[in-house]
Homo-oligomer: A and B are copies of this chain.
Amino acid sequence: MGESRYMRLGRSSVRFDEPVSIISSASVVGTKEGEGPLGLLFDMVGEDDTFGCNTWEEAESSLQKDAVYLALKKANLKPEDINLLFAGDLLGQSIATSFGLAVYGIPLLGVYGACSTCGESLALGAMSIAAEYADRAVCVTSSHFASAEKEFRYPLGYGNQRPLAASWTVTGSGAFVLGSGKTVTGSSRALIRGVTIGIITDYGIKDSMNMGAAMAPAAASTIARHFAEWGTTPGDYDKIITGDLGTVGQTALFELLKKEGYDISDRHMDCGIEIYDAGTQDTHAGGSGCGCSAVTLSAYILKQLEDYDKDSGKGWRKVLFVPTGALLSKTSFNEGKTIPGIAHALVIESNIA
């Protein structure tokens, strides 16, 4: 392993001088996501949100299983070709993962970072590839509207009203096959250039119907730390993309980063805002969940990086991808606790020079 393969930057960042390749990816979503603005880009849209299963939890497991199946198939790989699997979801004890992925028999490292889990799994996966702990790793996360409502809020049959600051949990799973940039050049969707690991940030927000506000400080903390540790500015990225802050959280993020001297308003995108048409889909502040940033990355963001063209200005050359998580549970909410947030950042670049 040469000394130049990666370099630590500051306390919480790693830059891969030899980038990690996203060899393939897949997105599987529910009907509402299929009807949204990104609908045509997803690999698979369920006919209904049970996905042929008896419970919402089984349906979510099925999402993960299908996403991994499709991602492996696209890369022409078998489960035996994968050394490490990084996976997680929002359900208590991560049961969507345990029951969805057992069939593959891949060495598993379960991760939890609420809706930032997509970023955490990709960060650990990329670090494992760069350090040569794995030739290929799979990173997968999921969420399901109905299993999440049951886990965190009210049974669907109760029909509770939702305030406008509330987000809508995405039914979906995104899976990513990572490998060494060196060995797979040419068959790569995009390159992971580095990571910045998140720190728990808690501004005392207690309203679980306003998770955007709870997560915005964590996103601001990670993005500002990223710029400082990497010596970059917003202008170095074509897009700075958060996971699921929604419209309320976006406003808070802009204000917090302005206090740090950064204006990202002309290049910010939020997966939760992109995935639904709030005007017609009644999703209020936007989408959320471990699946939100994962399926948006697979279907939309990686496509923009693949479409990059320097001359025409089409697509994107480099993005900062920052999935955001709200670290609450039903129990912590009922006990009157705050909602701490965390966000992990990845620098993802087009494979087109």
Interface residues of A (CB under 8 A from B): 1-3, 5, 8, 11-12, 14, 55, 57-58, 80, 83-84, 88, 90-95, 98-99, 101-102, 105-114, 120, 123-124, 127-128, 130-133, 150-151, 197-200, 202, 327-332, 335, 337, 340, 342
- A102 / chain B contacts, CB cutoff of 8 Å: 200, 202, 340
Q: Given A92-B93, A93-B90, A329-B95, are A11 and B132 also a contact pair (CB < 8 Å)?
A: no
- Closest 5 A-B residue pairs measured CB to CB? A92-B92, A131-B131, A93-B329, A98-B327, A107-B197
- A84 / chain B contacts, CB cutoff of 8 Å: 197
Do B12 and A57 touch (CB < 8 A)? no
Give 15 CB contacts A-B under 8 Å. A8-B83, A11-B80, A57-B331, A90-B93, A91-B92, A91-B329, A92-B92, A94-B112, A99-B332, A101-B200, A107-B197, A108-B342, A109-B123, A109-B197, A131-B131
User: In chain B, what residue has the closest Cβ to A83?
Assistant: B11
Do B131 and A99 touch (CB < 8 A)? no
- A150 / chain B contacts, CB cutoff of 8 Å: 331
Do B110 and A120 touch (CB < 8 A)? yes
Do A57 and B2 touch (CB < 8 A)? no
Cα distance A130–B130 in the bound complex, in angstroms: 13
User: In chain B, what residue has the closest Cβ to A328?
Assistant: B93
Cα distance A91–B151 in the bound complex, in angstroms: 13
Cα distance A197–B85 in the bound complex, in angstroms: 10
- A124 / chain B contacts, CB cutoff of 8 Å: 109, 124
Q: Given A107-B197, A108-B342, are A133 and B132 also a contact pair (CB < 8 Å)?
A: no
Do A151 and B92 touch (CB < 8 A)? yes
- A127 / chain B contacts, CB cutoff of 8 Å: 128, 131, 133
- A108 / chain B contacts, CB cutoff of 8 Å: 113, 197-200, 342
A75, chain B: closest CB distance, angstroms: 17
Do B106 and A199 touch (CB < 8 A)? yes
A171, chain B: closest CB distance, angstroms: 17
User: In chain B, what residue has the closest Cβ to A344?
Assistant: B109
User: In chain B, what residue has the closest Cβ to A222?
Assistant: B107
Do A8 and B133 touch (CB < 8 A)? yes
Do A109 and B111 touch (CB < 8 A)? yes
A14, chain B: closest CB distance, angstroms: 6
Cα distance A320–B337 in the bound complex, in angstroms: 40
User: In chain B, what residue has the closest Cβ to A81?
Assistant: B11
A133, chain B: closest CB distance, angstroms: 6
